[in-house]
A and B are shown apart, each in its own frame.
Chain A
Amino acid sequence: MKDRSIGSRVRERRMAMKMRQADLASRVGISASYLNLIEHDKRRIGGKLVVDIANVLGVEATLLSEGAEATLISALREAANVTTEADPELERIDEFAARFPGWANIIRSQHQLGLKLERTVETLSDRLAHDPELAAAMHEVLSMVTAVHATAGILHENRELEPEWRARFHRNLSEDSQRLAESSQLLVNYLDGAKEAETRLASPRDELHSFLGQAAYFFPEIEDGAEVEAVIHQSELLRSKGAKFLARELLEDYAANARAMPLDDFEVAHRECDGDVAALAERFKVSLGATMRRIAFLPKGVLDQDYGLVKCDMAGTMIYRKEIKGFSLPRYSSACPRWPLFRALQQPGQPLMQVVEFAAREMEQFKCFAVSEPQGRPQFGQNTTFTATMLITPNRERLPPEGQVGAACRICSVEKCNARREPSILVDGI
Chain B
Amino acid sequence: MRVLLIEDEPNIIEAINFILSREGYDVVTHANGHDAMDAVRERSPDMIILDVMLPGRSGFEILEDLRADAAYAETPVLMLTARGQTRDRELAEKLGVSMFMTKPFANSEVLDAVRSLTANV
Contact = CB atoms under 8 A, between A and B. Distances in A.
Contacts of A193: none
A143 B103 contact: yes
A142 interface: yes
A142 B107 contact: no
Given A154-B107, A157-B107, A143 B12 contact: yes
B15 to A, nearest CB: 4
Given A143-B82, A153-B15, A158-B22, 16 more contacts: A138-B82, A142-B82, A142-B83, A142-B103, A143-B12, A146-B12, A147-B15, A148-B104, A150-B11, A150-B16, A150-B19, A150-B104, A150-B105, A153-B106, A169-B15, A172-B14
Most buried by A among B9, B15, B53, B82: B15
Size band of the B side of the interface? 10 to 19
* 10 shortest interchain CB distances as A-B pairs: A150-B15, A142-B82, A146-B103, A146-B104, A147-B11, A153-B107, A149-B104, A172-B11, A145-B104, A147-B12
A145 B15 contact: no
Nearest to A140: B82
A176 interface: yes
Contacts of B14: 151, 168-169, 172
A385 to B, nearest CB: 28
Contacts of A158: 22
Interface string B93-104: 000000000011
A147 B8 CA distance: 11
B82 A146 contact: yes
A151 B107 CA distance: 9
Contact of A150 (B12, B22, B53, B83): B12
Interface of B: 9, 11-12, 14-16, 18-19, 22, 53, 82-83, 103-108, 110
A142 B88 CA distance: 16
Contacts of A151: 11, 14-15
B9 A147 contact: yes
A383 to B, nearest CB: 26
Contact of A146 (B9, B18, B83, B108): B9
A165 interface: yes
Tell me whether chain A's interface is mostly helix, strand or loop, or mixed: helix
A185 B9 CA distance: 20
Contact of B82 (A139, A148, A153, A154): A139
Contact of B18 (A139, A149, A154): A154
Given A143-B9, A165-B18, A172-B11, A150 B82 contact: no
Interface residues of A, number: 22
B83 A139 contact: yes
B9 A150 contact: no
Contact of B19 (A148, A154, A176): A154
9 contacts: A139-B53, A142-B103, A146-B12, A146-B82, A147-B11, A150-B12, A151-B14, A151-B15, A154-B107
Nearest to B105: A146
A62 to B, nearest CB: 49
Nearest to A139: B82
Contacts of B9: 143, 146-147
Interface in A146-175: 146-151, 153-154, 157-158, 165, 168-169, 172, 175
Nearest to B19: A154
Nearest to B22: A158
A176 B12 CA distance: 10
A314 B35 CA distance: 37
Contacts of A150: 11-12, 15-16, 19, 104-105, 107, 110
A146 B15 CA distance: 10
Given A143-B9, A154-B15, A149 B106 contact: yes
Given A138-B82, A154-B15, A165-B18, A145 B103 contact: yes
Contacts of B53: 139
A18 to B, nearest CB: 64
Nearest to A158: B22
Nearest to A161: B18
Nearest to B103: A146
A142 B104 contact: yes
Contacts of A176: 11
Interface string A121-150: 000000000000001001100110111111
